[in-house]
Structure 1
Amino acid sequence: MSAADTLPAVRGKLTPNAPLAPLVWFKAGGAAETLFEPADVDALADFLRELDPAVPVMGLGLGSNLIIRDGGVPGVVVRLGKPFARVTKLDETTLQCGGGASGILVSSTARDCGIGGLEFLRSIPGTVGGFVKMNGGAYGRETADILVSCDVVLRSGDRRTLSPADLAYTYRHSALPDQAIVVSATFRGHVAEPDAIQAEMDRIAASREASQPLRSKTGGSTFKNPLPKKAWEVIDAAGCRGLTIGGAQVSEKHCNFLLNLGSATSADIENLGEEVRRRVREHSGTELEWEIQRVGVSERE
């Protein structure tokens, strides 16, 4: 039975067989069986409560850290739009951020409010929901450092407020319940001068521009750093810089980034990543772990 046969009434937008490639940074991959863009939190909770429990649910943010496999994503993909992209000041050091708010919006609002410590979010091409789920981080900071609490809608439609302790954060990982959707988060920084905050954001932006292939079809950092080493170092040492499979390439600028040169399938990209893992394992014994999320089914399935 398909998701379309079991869908309840909604407030928001439902799109069957919705292409996902335009919504993700790699610009590759198949379609969602159903894409749901809820009107608000109540609409999301009601929908999930009434949806057949057998239908899988997946959240989608900006799609920057994601491979959508070529066979698409079964069930329902939930995308949080403008109603979930608001950021408001709660007090002198705290922001309430919608799950669909981008890192640029959060960091810019923090600057305008004189709240420091959130500048690193400027460098992460994702949304609050993804930051919370993946303990997103960069430049020596991560979500666990700033999160006060988050509000989620569980697959059952129930709502919960979770603390950092509930999420049991580790490097690029959390214990967020399976299929839960993060609808908002409260972040806390410290009082700082807006000019100083902007200067740090400018420094981060310049560093990214200099070292990462930002103007390419990419998915961001492909593998977790095998601490204390850097992923790019072991990839480079294994001779993978510039390696290609089909239309996919290991970036020559930063070899922990994979690129879609224009015609890559998601299978090309994922196979290239697995080849990099194999070569690194053979060269140094290092076992690289995927940081990019890979979802959906391959065409052969």
Structure 2
Amino acid sequence: MTLATTSLPAVRGSLKADAPLGPLVWFKAGGVAQWLFEPKDADDLSDFLARLDPAIPVMALGLGSNLIVRDGGVPGVVVRLGKPFARVEQVDATSLRCGGGASGILVSSTARDAGIAGLEFLRSIPGTVGGFVRMNGGAYGRETCDILLECGVVLRSGERVTMPLDALGYTYRHSILPEGAVVVSAVFRGVPGEPAAIQAEMDRIAAAREESQPLRSKTGGSTFKNPDGHKAWQLVDEAGCRGLRLGGAQVSEKHTNFLLNLGDATSADIEALGEEVRRRVKAKSGIDLEWEIQRVGVQSPSRKWEGDYLKEQKS
């Protein structure tokens, strides 16, 4: 990627140019970030964004579990919240304040130790608090909107705001958080519970995931949203896509709403396979599957889209 010559503001954290993103996402594929910023704290992030040219795009990156980074890379600044944002602390008998970089496993385990039930489902979502809040992450009948009280956000302008639940406009796997905003904290509330019972529920969820999902593969989690009244995996299966391959990408045979990188897949392979699945499901059932996985960045300059397929450009 050609780097901009724009002078970026000084930071106290880490700011790297032309940083590979493939190693940071679950698919282990994709291009580079024009700039990768890991702020030291929320003030560092706020100061940086306040002084950053407003024309430069900003994107937050969590664990990269539900993300396709396109092969041409991501222009602008990618913000990754590291250890300073991974803390979880108890607020009261049933509430936790969680950093935007804290994992679902850490949040649910802290809740268990504090005797707070109702947050067990976060154990099953391979992401961070920032991603849960932005996407209304959920699993096993529960969603972020069921437990969120408020979140701390650094807007693209650098302004720090606290947003209550009703300001996020939650729908299925969607919020109205502004583009370029970064979630740096959230307060979750559960109900009183016994640690042993909470652990038992977490174990049940973990076992169910292990049995039904290809957790040990290079994957991006659930690929498509469940349409009203339907299960995405069932529609994919009925369209004959179980095990379907394109380049180094494959539809999982264990769970057909998961795409896999078999080892050498490009992000173009993975995304084109998803589009082919969408085409076949539409032809079979008449239903338009919507992507749940976020796709960011630009296509490789040597390729272009033609209909539902990715073709090599002719020289």
TM-score, normalised to structure 1, is 0.99
Q: Is the 8 A contact 1:221 1:291 kept in 2?
A: yes
Q: How does 1:147-186 map to 2 (within 5 A)?
A: 147-186=148-187
1:222-241 CA-to-partner distances (Å, cap 9, x unmatched) read: 00001211000000000000
In the TM superposition, what is the alpha-carbon distance from 1:89 to its structure 2 partner?
A: 0.1
Q: Does 1:59 pair with 2:98? A: no
Q: Which amino acid aligns with 2:223?
A: T
Alpha-carbon separation, structure 2, partners of 1:5 and 1:205: 46
* Identity between Structure 1 and Structure 2 (%): 75
In the TM superposition, what is the alpha-carbon distance from 1:167 to its structure 2 partner?
A: 0.4
Q: Secondary structure at the match of 1:97?
A: strand
Q: 1:298 to 1:15 in 2, by over 3 A?
A: same
Q: Is the 8 A contact 1:12 1:39 kept in 2?
A: yes
**Aligned residue in 2 for 1:206:** 207
**Aligned residue in 2 for 1:41:** 42
**Aligned residue in 1 for 2:90:** 89
Alpha-carbon separation, structure 1, partners of 2:164 and 2:170: 10
Q: How does 1:16-27 map to 2 (within 5 A)?
A: 16-27=17-28
Q: 1:234 to 1:248 in 2, by over 3 A?
A: same
Q: Secondary structure at the match of 1:5?
A: coil
Alpha-carbon separation, structure 2, partners of 1:279 and 1:4: 44
Structure 2, unaligned runs of 5 or more: 303-315
Q: Is the 8 A contact 2:3 2:18 kept in 1?
A: no
Q: Which amino acid aligns with 1:26?
A: F
**Aligned residue in 1 for 2:273:** 272
Q: Secondary structure at the match of 2:45?
A: helix
Alpha-carbon separation, structure 2, partners of 1:179 and 1:56: 7
**Aligned residue in 2 for 1:103:** 104
**Aligned residue in 1 for 2:78:** 77
1:142-196 CA-to-partner distances (Å, cap 9, x unmatched) read: 0000000000000000011111111010000000111100000000000000000
Q: Is the 8 A contact 1:6 1:52 kept in 2?
A: no
Q: Secondary structure at the match of 2:220?
A: strand
- Considering only aligned residues, what root-mean-square deviation do their CA atoms show, in Å? 0.9
In the TM superposition, what is the alpha-carbon distance from 1:5 to its structure 2 partner?
A: 2.1
Q: Secondary structure at the match of 2:221?
A: strand
Q: Is the 8 A contact 2:58 2:78 kept in 1?
A: yes
**Aligned residue in 1 for 2:311:** none
Q: Is the 8 A contact 1:4 1:34 kept in 2?
A: no
Structure 1, unaligned runs of 5 or more: none
Alpha-carbon separation, structure 2, partners of 1:2 and 1:56: 13
In the TM superposition, what is the alpha-carbon distance from 1:3 to its structure 2 partner?
A: 4.7
In the TM superposition, what is the alpha-carbon distance from 1:48 to its structure 2 partner?
A: 0.2
